[in-house]
């Protein structure tokens, strides 16, 4: 496997392109339905499996440093710009991908100009409690065996209410269900940094969705973050009754359609 496994869902004469940053344990191939919606609207979708996930290289469920994820965003954006040199480009991040996108914009100048940011249930604070034994094991392993893999303990039934997606996730050989101790601490540290009051606000227009019934990630943390961003160019939607994977939940089609309309409006506005 190469460092990054790239994806491209093209469309003739694309009006814009979307750079996809997927969530923890998953991979870009799970976003075919989102690609279909985007393509139907004249938008292309470009992405890469994160290191250690999907078909990309690296130890499964592991990174040595969170910067590896930020490097991946640079790679995706440059790849998208190579494919679509003139079109507006949007950054889309789900869950861990949302956290990565936030930290990217807080700490780096984007590799290419961006027309906007879309976040889906960004992972900014865990809502699902971590068992005490697992926290103690992670702390010990961090010191003596940082690449020790521990089951993440995330059941597909707590991230979506879609029975088809649940079944597919439970039988998907590319899903990664364990993480290493050093991955866990890189993740925790990144969440804390993203929510730090001294972190800079989002520098581009943003549409942020969070699942109101999210059992995995706390929507209140997302509300805190976006409250610090420029109100005139930030839209936050808390979706009552939705589980973590918003687009796949019942009603997700309408959310995807609304997202496309927002991006189309930014495209038409030239920003």
Give domain limits for the chain. 6-269
What is the arithmetic mean of pLDDT over 198-226?
97
CATH topology (fold) of 6-269: Rossmann fold (3.40.50)
Q: Which residue has the tokens 């094991």?
A: 137
Contact criterion met (CB below 8 Å) for 20 and 76: yes
Q: Which of 238, 229, 271 is nearest to 90 (CA)?
A: 271
DSSP state of 148: -
| Residue of 140 and 225 predicted with greater confidence | 225
Question: Rounded CA gap, 120 and 31, in Å?
Answer: 13
Per-residue pLDDT tens digits for 134-148: 677 667 667 677 887
Question: Rounded CA gap, 173 and 40, in Å?
Answer: 29
Burial class (CB in 10 A: 0-12, 13-18, 19+), 143: exposed
Per-residue pLDDT tens digits for 250-259: 999 999 999 9
């Amino acid at each position: 496997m190469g460092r990054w496994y790239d994806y491209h869902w093209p469309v003739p004469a694309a009006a814009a392109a979307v750079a996809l940053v997927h969530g923890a344990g998953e991979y870009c191939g799970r976003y075919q339905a989102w690609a279909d919606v985007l393509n139907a609207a004249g938008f292309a979708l470009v992405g890469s499996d994160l290191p250690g996930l999907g078909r990309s290289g690296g130890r499964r469920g592991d990174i040595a440093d969170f910067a590896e994820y930020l490097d991946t965003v640079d790679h995706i954006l440059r790849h998208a710009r190579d494919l679509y040199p003139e079109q507006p480009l949007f950054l889309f991040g789900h869950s861990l991908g949302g956290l990565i996108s936030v930290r990217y914009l807080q700490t780096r100048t984007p590799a290419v100009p961006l027309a906007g940011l879309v976040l889906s249930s960004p992972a900014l604070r865990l809502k699902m409690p971590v068992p005490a034994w697992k926290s103690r094991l992670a702390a010990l392993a961090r010191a003596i065996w940082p690449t020790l893999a521990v089951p993440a303990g995330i059941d597909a039934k707590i991230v979506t209410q879609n029975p088809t997606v649940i079944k597919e996730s439970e039988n998907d050989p590319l899903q990664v269900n364990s993480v290493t101790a050093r991955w866990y601490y890189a993740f925790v540290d990144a969440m804390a940094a993203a929510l730090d009051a001294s972190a800079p606000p989002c520098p581009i227009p943003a549409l942020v969705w969070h699942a109101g019934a999210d059992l995995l990630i706390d929507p209140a943390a997302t509300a805190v973050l976006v409250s610090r961003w420029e109100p005139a160019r930030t839209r936050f939607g808390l979706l009552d009754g939705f589980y973590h994977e918003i687009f796949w939940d019942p009603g997700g089609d309408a959310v995807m359609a609304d997202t496309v309309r927002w991006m189309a409006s930014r495209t038409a506005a030239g920003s």
